[in-house]
Amino acid sequence: MSRTFLKMNGLGNDFVVIETLSQPFTPTADEIRAIAKRGDGGIGCDQVIAIDPPKAEGASAYVRFWNADGEEAGACGNGTRCVAWLLMQSGGKSDVAFDTVAGRLSGVMAGDKRVTVDMGPPRLDWTQIPLSEEMDTARVELQVGPIDAPWVHTPVCVSMGNPHVVFFVDAPVSDEFAEKTGSLVEHHPLFPEGVNVGFAHVVSRDHIKLKVWERGAGLTSACGTGACAAQVAAVRRGLTDRTATVEFESGPLVIEWREADGHVIMTGPVALEFTGKLPELASA
């Protein structure tokens, strides 16, 4: 039986979203890679997302994320907004909650095709990123490039249910720089589960320009959890106030690291590109 999918994106970070209510979806890594492949028979996306039946009271669904390289990811902020929007649209609701491996997330409508999601609290201890050795995650001993003149150094690490390392840079970086440097850091031994690599330029106390090299997906147009991590990192360093616009070349997200409960609240757009039928998958 072939499955329907929805092709969606958040600021160009794109997803193949599969509803598995009628038939369980247990893809192999190869099958995820085949779906995510751009061209050569693939649909092409940064992440694949499955919306499964709920497992717990109060949740509308259980949601799983895979990167284009076939590996599961614990969180996906732009994807979370897209899933929240889909569940609210199909349920005729203006708010929704669903579960992921990283915990319960919730969303509310914030305008036409705009969604605010509560991404939960950041995890800040070295064991929660995780790092391979004990370190102060607000000033991580890591540098990239020549020893005496590193290209980037002393980042902040934050987990939003997935690992992020944020380097603060004096000016927005080029795609080439993000690819060269991000690909070196993604699998650095300091990050036993790999890491998403953000390059954040703080414009003012409420404005960050960000570019992210994503674990398992490479350079993407935008990264929601990366934006959350960059804002948390900037607040930890005293560089921004609690709410900031985190701007990608493809557009902005508004991120608040809420004082009251420590949760990170993200607001941004969702886009539905098209729907289609997945090619027959052997195991899924």
Ligand X SMILES: N[C@H](CCC[C@H](N)C(=O)O)C(=O)O
Residue positions annotated with a catalytic role: 76, 223
Per CB under 6 A, the list member of 186, 214, 247, 256 interacting with ligand X is 214
Nearest to 77 by CA among 233, 277, 254, 243: 254
Would you put residue 174 in left (φ > 0), alpha (ψ -120 to 50) or beta?
Answer: beta
100 contacts ligand X (rule: CB under 6 A):
no
What is the size of the binding site for ligand X (CB under 6 A)?
Answer: 20
267 contacts ligand X (rule: CB under 6 A):
no
Per CB under 6 A, the list member of 196, 221, 231, 267 interacting with ligand X is 196
- The amino acid sitting at 48 is V
67 contacts ligand X (rule: CB under 6 A):
yes
**What is the distance between the alpha carbons of residues 215 and 235, in angstroms, rounded to a whole number?**
23
Would you put residue 41 in left (φ > 0), alpha (ψ -120 to 50) or beta?
Answer: left
**What is the distance between the alpha carbons of residues 187 and 208, in angstroms, rounded to a whole number?**
25
Supply the minimum distance, in Å, between the C-beta of residue 47 and ligand X. 6
Supply the minimum distance, in Å, between the C-beta of residue 210 and ligand X. 11
47 is in an annotated binding site: yes
13 is in an annotated binding site: yes
Supply the minimum distance, in Å, between the C-beta of residue 186 and ligand X. 9
Which distant-in-sequence residues (6+ apart) come within 8 Å of 92 by Cβ? Answer: none
What is the enclosing helix (H) or strand (E) of 88? helix 77-91
Of 28-36, 84-92, 150-158, 208-216: span binding ligand X (CB under 6 A): 208-216
76 contacts ligand X (rule: CB under 6 A):
yes
Supply the minimum distance, in Å, between the C-beta of residue 199 and ligand X. 15
Give Cα separations from 259 to 101, 156, 160, 164, 263 (angstroms): 25, 19, 16, 21, 8
Supply the minimum distance, in Å, between the C-beta of residue 148 and ligand X. 32
Instruction: Name 158's bridge partners.
Output: 164
42 in Cβ contact with 278 (< 8 Å): no
13 contacts ligand X (rule: CB under 6 A):
yes
77 contacts ligand X (rule: CB under 6 A):
yes
Which CB, 46 or 99, lies closer to ligand X? 46
List the structure tokens of 173.
Answer: 């970086």
The number of residues in the chain equals 284
Per CB under 6 A, the list member of 17, 217, 255, 264 interacting with ligand X is 217
Per-residue DSSP letter, 169:
-
Q: State phi, psi for 88 to the nearest 5 degrees.
A: -70, -40
224 is in an annotated binding site: yes
77 is in an annotated binding site: yes
Q: How crowded is the C-beta side of 151, counted as CA atoms within 13 Å?
A: 15
196 is in an annotated binding site: yes
231 contacts ligand X (rule: CB under 6 A):
no
Per CB under 6 A, the list member of 27, 107, 224, 269 interacting with ligand X is 224
137 contacts ligand X (rule: CB under 6 A):
no
**What is the distance between the alpha carbons of residues 8 and 274, in angstroms, rounded to a whole number?**
7
Residues of each annotated binding site = 13, 47, 67, 77-78, 162, 196, 214-215, 224-225
- List contacts with ligand X (CB under 6 A): 13, 46-47, 67, 73, 76-79, 162, 196, 214-217, 220, 223-226
Residues of each annotated binding site for substrate = 13, 47, 67, 77-78, 162, 196, 214-215, 224-225
